[in-house]
Structure 1
Amino acid sequence: MKGFSLTYDGFDPPGEGLREALTSTGNGYLCTRGAAEWEDADGVHYPATYAHGGYNRETTIMGGLPVLNEDLVNLPNWLVLKLRIEGGEAIRLADVELINYRHELDIRHTMVVRELRFRDHDGRVTTLRSRRFVSMADVHHAGIEWTLTPENWSGRVEVVSALDGRVTNHGVARYQQLEGRHLDPVSPRTFGPEVIALKVQTRQSNLYVSEGARTRVFDDSGEPISVERSLYQMEDYIQQVLGFDVHQGSPTRLEKMVTFFNSRDPATSDTLERAGTSARRYKDFGEALERHTSAVTELWCACDLDVPGDDRVQFLLRLHIGHVFQVCSHHTADLDTGVPARGLNGEAYRGHVFWDELYVYPFLNYRMPEVTRSLLMYRYRRLGEAQAAARESGLRGAMYPWQSGSDGKEETQRIHLNPLSGRWEPDLSHNQRHVNAAIFYNIWHYFLATGDRAFLGDYGAEMMLEIARFWASMAQFNPERGRYEIHGVMGPDEFHEKYPGAHEGGLRNNAYTNVMVAWLCRLAQEVLSLLPASRVDALRGRLGLRDEELSRWEDMSRRMFVPFHDDGIISQFEGYEHLEELDWDAYRAKYTNIQRMDRILRAEGDDPNRYKVAKQADTVMLFFLFSAEELKAIFDRLGYPYAEETAHRNIVYYDQRTSHGSTLSYVTHAGVLAEYDPVSSWERFRVALESDVCDVQGGTTQEGIHMGVMSGTLDLVQRGYAGTQIRNGVLYFAPRLPRQLERLRFSMQFRGTPLRVEFAEGHLTLSVHSEGVSRPIRVGVGDVIHELCPGDQRTFVLSTDNDLVHDV
């Protein structure tokens, strides 16, 4: 099938880090970078494996002061397979003549493949084909297969098969000064002649991690070969050396089947015993691969976006879907984890969970809602920590952290390194309290897509009420304006942390934040009306929620202050209109890339807080998250004007002042421009699609893919272009398809019922599957609402501008 292969021909050392990130393999439990098995971490290669929830804290002394950081830990390297020919040194790419080299991510089967033909220093020509997967069927398992063919020689080879616990976290250059050692050795062990195992422990979080590996060799007929085995071990490293003969032109196959367990896995007593026993019992490579590909096929049936009209777009969408699988699969639903903003294949942002989940959940809600539910439970289990954080700040309710890790504490560092200037600078991003509003939004939209009243009643409503309570305690009533105000926060923009020259961080009345608060204060009361009276009484009693608080929320939903410019533009925050305009042309002429204008300005001794410049214009986020009808209702309730041209005027204004320093910004602008400027929308969509695979930010993708961007492009197709939206229990379609997507097919799930959506030749066809627990659903197209029962299909005719005319 088209669009299922990311292939690199030739070895490119400077680009290897990017390739390793993009060709990672994972299963929603753990993920391994696409590094070659025979290479060590050396500045070019960075083999690394990460597992959900595998955090550890360490302290670094900087300038005489302790700096504490929590990191997603690089776990023992299970990849190690090294080839030695006739007693020589282990083969490395840098030390041989590469005749042919191909490195591929088979997206369809979530498998990394390498094929190399090389000539060594003695003139021997050898072909090596490597295939590797992390099993989507068997959560704790992975496998590597080598096929080795000597072309012009016969002789003796040795293969080193090892588990290496000597690894550290050093995959991000700007973190090099911080402590990167997170593992302490526990024990190596063997389980019979074929199986080695290794156990380590994280130094602070006391997480035991064990890996087991069974390595065997087969001839070209599939029969096992008797090999000489020797063992070497240290406290944090264990290896077997397998010696055997190979013959000219005759392929020999080697397989290394690996298992992973940690002390938080269910049904696990001793992780080392579990890993070794499981490796000894595990199936051979062929059978294990078949199970894996069958499980992956099932995921593709539910999640594929079929775009026949554009091969490049098709490929990139499938690459993004494949990476979503690696971080969020059905296995994730059994874990206590959030979505790391940079996935599970790099160490950027130290593996922390941000608001980026706002861009991830919409795709999952319609395909793997059980995964969204589990990811939201990560937030619920940390509600107590969020409540404690609010209390310690003199506030009420729940104050979730901007960066979250293992236990829900605020993990945001108070200083960060500017790579342009080389200086450590204050980091005030912990003031981005809008993460609370994002969590509220995520809970509500999960409920809209699933109708999961049990989750809402047992968990979701409690979080939503405590988030509303937090904002009510943070808001101040200004009697002169007769409005509620919120001070001391940062919006999603991030270039504006404070006012120019101010000593204290934070801004007054960030428009995005205040509008979100007005919306959630109204909705929090609606949520109560959806619950049984007994549950409402229990919740109110448990939280001590009084009528006066509900009345304040109601008042805030009508009287939050929103700043405007004199010309009617929504001001990003109070005082924004008084900032200086930036000379964009001068900076574009001076620098090849101005996306990170904050770093550029600070490196020049200037301050981005002085200018009307945004990393991502947070006012525009309002038009991305809410439909025109929803926003008009919010502004009408607040008593502010909202005209037909409000959205377009604001989008154009802020677009001219945004550097798109976050690739999420391209997703946002593509979404909001779909209705007003389809050509520009498509251009932004393409930039977002290409941003990771082409590493448009110059070196960031090798530190971990951007989950929000990859998921956000998928959501753009279903929401921005296909126009899906839920209102009053009805799934509406209002398509704004660019011509490149005029033929589009995808499956989705609405409130437990599978639905097939197809755009083709000016028609929209909706088909309801008659399987499982499918039940009737209501869909809206134009002004008409239909009930579709299992087995039903209905087709609608679209006009040339994608407006709906009538159904067939």
Structure 2
Amino acid sequence: MTTLHTGPSDDTTTGRTDAFTLSYSEFDPGEEGLRETLTSTGNGYLCTRGAAEWEDADGVHYPGTYVHGLYNRATTMLGGVPVHNEDLVNLPNWLPLKLRIGGAEVLRLAEVEILEYSHRVDLRSALMTRQIRFRDREGRETELVSRRFASMASMHHAYMEWTITPLNWSGQAEVVSALDGRVTNDGVPRYRQLESDHLRPGSTVFPHPEVMALKVRTRQSEVNIGVAARTLVSTGGRKRDVPRSDFRMADYIQQTLHVELERDVPTTIEKSVALFTSRDPATGDTLLRASRSAARSRPFGAAYAHHRESWERLWQACDLHVFGDDEAQHLLRVHISHILQTCSHNTADLDAGVPARGINGEAYRGHVFWDELFVFPFLTFRLPAVTRSLLMYRYRRQSEARVAAATAGYEGFMFPWQSGSLGTEQTQELHLNPMSGRWDIDLSHNQRHVSAAIFYNVWQYITLTEDTMFLEFRGAEMMLGIARFWSSIAHYSPERQRYEIHGVMGPDEYHEKYPGASEGGLRNNAYTNVFVAWICDIAAHLLDLLPAPQAGAVRARLELRDDEIERWKDMSRRMFVPFHDGIISQFEGYEDLDELDWNSYRAEYGNIQRLDRILKAEGDTPDRYKLAKQADAVMLFFLFSDDELRRVFTRLGYGFADDAAQRTIDYYDQRTSHGSTLSYITHAGVLARFDPDSSWDRFKVALGSDVNDIQGGTTREGIHMGVMSGTVDLIQRFYAGMRVENGMLQIHPNLPRDIDGVSFNMTYLRSPLTVTVMQDSVTVHHRDGVIDSTPVHVCVAGQERMVAVGGEETFSLT
């Protein structure tokens, strides 16, 4: 079972006590995969799963190391049909440290008697620790403490330290330290019929008596990876020279260290690793670069102190407090730790997007979806340079988005639903249904709304940061190219005198087409059409925000025509939105579908989150029913305020009643299976305005979804970045009620009764702020210390004030 330390816990690495620990007190083979994900060690560049370093990949353990943005493409023949897949590559395993006592077999947990066991991660610094006391078959009792981290201060480095103490014996032991390039992508069972061998052997070398290095190359993308490790032995803080036996092959290299151990005397084994790829700047030969870097690396203690200082600065910017709910407080810190392991300041110089499942597992093949929509609100208020970098991932792939649009018969930029290395569409054409064992046709590439999300992300980044340089030289071009795509995919209906969009899917994902239809896609998905109306209004006036020379340059790069801008203006007033019974229809024709007998399916299957798999396994299809995997039309109320939506609907000539949000949300709440954990985020967010207590119930489900693995095994394949980021966003944007509108920071709290308040640090217009929202008051503190800080205009529940640099303002809510 998971032990969530929400009270004081002893941290033997620092002597301090706090609640920043996620720990497990016994070894459980059935949960080991989940724990490996949750105790990963990452720094925004690389991430390694929390697998025990003495274990190989098997049905229980799965070592995996991944570098942000490093992919390889492979082809599998299924029934004579070539199936192409691009994966975030599992890189050479740098972990192996294996213990052999008195010539016996190498230590395996399954082959010894475990007397004491602890497996924990310090969230303050993503330091993973295993502490075990075991008895082997010869009756020898040994204590082994293993610590490791991926350096946040030196992003190409990772460190491991063993402390071995014989408790009732003395004698000879061997420690095997290795680098293993014989790995494959084998972490997701449903992918195992597909090609998973992505690495080509390169070379191995011992450049120094204490250093070994390995080089491999990805088979298709031709990226060179160099990994080197230095292994040292010490006792009582003094380095020991020990005999070493070397062995190497083209894709595997090891040193065996022969160590004399003395009863009750701790001996330390330290392994320092450097990893470089040919995608990294100033690298050259990756084998040479890694070898030199490993040889020069700091000792474990000094490296950890440097690493921890970097994490402390991140926590100063990113920590968040919930008063009155210790469990929520703890889980939010688990989430923040994992967000920063995937996207930190080390990510800012990479050409990488936001993998939906982080970089500690292989689910979704490491692809970039629309989940960045849920991630950016956390990052932009704290690490805006990282958001900018992640947006540049999209900008650099505009040419592929343009080709994709043209190939489909459209103009502008049509970004893929699943993106990898090049920005081409990586969505599978076939998807394995684990319940039926069949490969079904996958039509989810029709989720064109990913391009709308990218437009939204760019606009939100510019609004929150006022980064005019990005708008002028990158953002405007991307936004207008996306608007051009929506203009070309829409067509004008003379009968309705409105614009329509056909052949797309909404976020729901259960509805891929109409029942019995031969072609994929739906007509007039409401989420898409309303979003496009909003996009077209902004795009039509975007050039007016730019200086004339830059506006002209953007026009020239896009070869933008005046008639396009006029069409955008018209679309912002004439998009068609379907309704039924006064409710926004998920798509045109939704009201004609059958109602599902929800009670019957719950009684038969229990967990019906993945109704699509259940129905297809029965020979049925979700296309026939009024249901949803996750929030679709409801997403509109998650992204936009009521005032903003009212402006859009009014401009379109539709009414927007005061209860429009609540009626629409209630309707779909009864028809949504929440097959994606993002759905709990969305519903918690939209409920916060008129039912904060019910919202908090949904929030708590989302908050525990990864730690508790509520989808029955998915977290072991990688964290859910959207959910983890979304929970933090819910605190700031929905419970604190914080938005940037009308040129000011607006706060309209919706705190649930279950908590006393929240507090968080953020940056707005380069000004560092601490916002504290309690049940009866809001305090905004302007933390001085930034050179170009300025006073901040704040509006709390209708009360407007300027918060001076270094000043503080308290607003009463009574």
- State the TM-score, normalizing by the size of structure 1: 0.98
What code does the residue aligned with 2:390 have? L
Partner of 1:668: 682
Aligned counterpart, 1:184: 200
Structure 2 residue ranges without an equivalent (≥5):
1-16
Amino acid at match of 1:179: E
Partner of 2:530: 515
After TM superposition, give the deviation of residue 103 of structure 1 in Å.
Answer: 0.6
- Picking from 583, 604, 609, the partner of 1:569 is 583
**Whole-angstrom CA distance in 2 between matches of 1:24 and 1:484:** 48
Residues paired across the two proteins, number: 797
Instruction: State yes or no: 1:85 paired with 2:105.
Output: no
Instruction: Measure, in 2, the Cα distance between the counterparts of 1:324 and 1:290.
Output: 21
Aligned partner of 2:347 among 312, 332, 347: 332
The match for 1:806 is: none
The residue identity in structure 2 corresponding to 1:615 is K
Contact 2:731 2:758 (C-alpha < 8 Å) held by counterparts: no
Q: Secondary structure at the match of 1:391?
A: helix
Q: Distance in 1 between matches of 2:646 and 2:149?
A: 49
Asked if 1:625 corresponds to 2:639, the answer is yes
Name the CA distance, whole Å, in 2 between partners of 1:164 and 1:334: 28
SS in 2 for 1:307: strand
What is the distance in 2 between the residues matched to 1:274 and 1:729?
A: 48
Residue 805 of structure 1 aligns with which residue? none
Cα distance per residue 1:473-501 (max 9 Å; x no partner):
00010010010000000000000000000
Contact 1:3 1:318 in 2 (8 A): no
1:470 corresponds to = 485
Please state if 1:281 is matched with 2:301.
no
C-alpha offsets along residues 413-463 of structure 1, whole Å, 9 cap, x if unaligned? Answer: 111000000000000000000000000000000111100000011101101
Deviation at 1:101, TM superposition (A): 0.7
SS, match of residue 282 in structure 2: coil
CA distance in 2, matches of 1:303, 1:437: 28
Cα deviation digits, residues 152-186 of structure 1 (max 9, x gap): 00000000000000000010000000000000011
Amino acid in the other structure paired with 1:490: M
Q: Distance in 1 between matches of 2:19 and 2:775?
A: 22
How much has 1:43 moved relative to structure 2? 1.1
Alignment of 1:66-85 (within 5 A): 66-85=82-101
> Match for 1:214 among 230, 247, 266?
230
Aligned to 2:510, the other structure's residue is in SS state coil
CA distance 1:129–1:89, shift in 2 (3 Å): same
Aligned 1:292-441 pairs, distance under 5 A: 292-441=307-456
> Secondary structure at the residue paired with 1:38?
coil
Instruction: Please tell me whether residue 264 in structure 1 is matched to residue 287 in structure 2.
Output: no
Paired position in structure 1 for 2:802: 787
Mapped pair 1:765 → 2:765: no
Tell me the distance in 2 between the aligned counterparts of 1:354 and 1:639.
33
The offset of 1:544, in angstroms, is 1.4
How far the C-alpha of 1:226 sits from its partner, in A, is 1.9
Which residue identity lines up with residue 782 of structure 2 in the other structure?
V
Report the identity percentage: 63
Q: Which amino acid aligns with 1:797?
A: S
Q: Alpha-carbon deviation of 1:617?
A: 2.6
* Cα displacement string for residues 639-660 of structure 1 (whole angstroms, at most 9, x for unaligned residues): 0010100000000000000000
Q: Match for 1:127: what amino acid? A: E
Cα RMSD for the two superposed structures: 0.8
Instruction: Say whether the 8 Å CA contact 1:732–1:781 is kept in structure 2.
Output: yes
C-alpha separation between the residues in 2 aligned to 1:542 and 1:659?
45
Partner of 1:58: 74
Residues 1:449 and 2:464 aligned together: yes
Tell me which amino acid in the other structure corresponds to 1:632.
Answer: R
* Structure 1 residue aligned with 2:9: none
Partner of 1:66, secondary structure, is strand
For residues 588 and 757 of structure 2, the distance between their equivalents in structure 1, rounded to whole angstroms, comes to 45
2:91 alignment partner AA: L
Query: 2 CA distance for matches of 1:719 and 1:224?
Result: 53
Q: Give the match's secondary structure for 1:741.
A: coil
Distance in 2 (alpha carbons) for counterparts of 1:647 and 1:162: 58
Query: Deviation digits for residues 603-634 of structure 1, max 9, x if unmatched?
Result: 00111000001001300000000001000000
Q: CA deviation at 1:716?
A: 0.2
Within the candidate set 175, 182, 191, 1:175 is matched to 191
Residue 703 (structure 1) aligns with: 717
Deviation of 1:542 after TM superposition, in Å, equals 1.9
Q: Name stretches of at least 5 consecutive residues in structure 1 with no aligned partner.
A: 800-808
| CA shift for structure 1 position 540 | 1.1
Q: Give the Cα–Cα distance (whole angstroms) in 1 for the partners of residues 683 and 327 of structure 2.
A: 21
Aligned 8 A contact 2:751 2:757 in 1 = no
The counterpart of 1:116, out of the listed 132, 139, 145, is 132
**1:802 match:** none
- The answer to whether the Cα contact below 8 Å between 1:3 and 1:312 also exists between their aligned partners in 2 is no
**Residue 169 of structure 2 is aligned to residue 153 of structure 1:** yes
Partner of 1:108, secondary structure, is coil
Structure 1 Cα separation of the partners of residues 749 and 165 of structure 2: 54
Name the structure 1 match of 2:41. Answer: 25
Q: Does 1:193 align with 2:209?
A: yes
After TM superposition, give the deviation of residue 216 of structure 1 in Å: 0.5
Q: Distance in 2 between matches of 1:25 and 1:739?
A: 36
Shift of 1:741: 3.4
Distance 1:102 1:189 in 2: 36
Aligned counterparts, 1:486-565, within 5 A = 486-565=501-580
1:640-651 alignment to 2 at 5 Å? Answer: 640-651=654-665
Counterpart contact for 2:213–2:226, Cα < 8 Å: yes
Cα deviation for residue 785 of structure 1 reads 2.5
1:674 is aligned with what amino acid? A
Q: Paired residue for 1:11?
A: 27
- SS across alignment from 2:323: coil
CA contact (8 A) 1:31 1:50 kept: yes
Q: In structure 1, give the amino acid aligned to 2:711.
A: Q
Q: Give the aligned partner of residue 803 of structure 1.
A: none
**Partners of 1:83 and 1:160 within 8 A in 2:** yes
Measured after TM superposition, the shift of residue 53 of structure 1 is: 1.4
- Give the CA deviation at 1:761: 6.1
Q: 1: CA distance between counterparts of 2:185 and 2:19?
A: 33
Moved more, 341-350 or 782-791: 782-791
Identify which of 688, 694, 697 aligns with 2:708. 694
Match of 1:43 in 2: 59
Counterpart Cα distance in 2 of 1:462 and 1:612: 39
Q: Distance in 1 between matches of 2:128 and 2:543?
A: 49
Alignment partners' CA distance in 2, 1:496 and 1:657: 13
Tell me how far apart the structure 2 counterparts of residues 458 and 261 of structure 1 sit (CA, whole Å).
Answer: 31
Quick check: 1:723 aligned with 2:727?
A: no
Paired residue type of 2:612:
D
Cα distance in structure 2, aligned partners of 1:526 and 1:698: 47
The CA distance in 2 between the partners of 1:785 and 1:486, in whole Å, is 42
**SS at 1:740 equivalent:** coil
Per-residue deviation, 1:105: 1.2
Q: 2:390 and 2:126 mapped to 1: Cα distance?
A: 23
Question: Structure 2 vs 1, CA of residues 711 and 745 (structure 1 numbering), >3 Å: closer, same or farther?
Answer: same
Is residue 731–residue 780 contact of structure 1 (8 Å, CA) maintained in 2?
yes
Equivalent position SS for 1:523: helix
Distance 1:722 1:151 in 2: 53
| SS of equivalent to 1:116 | strand
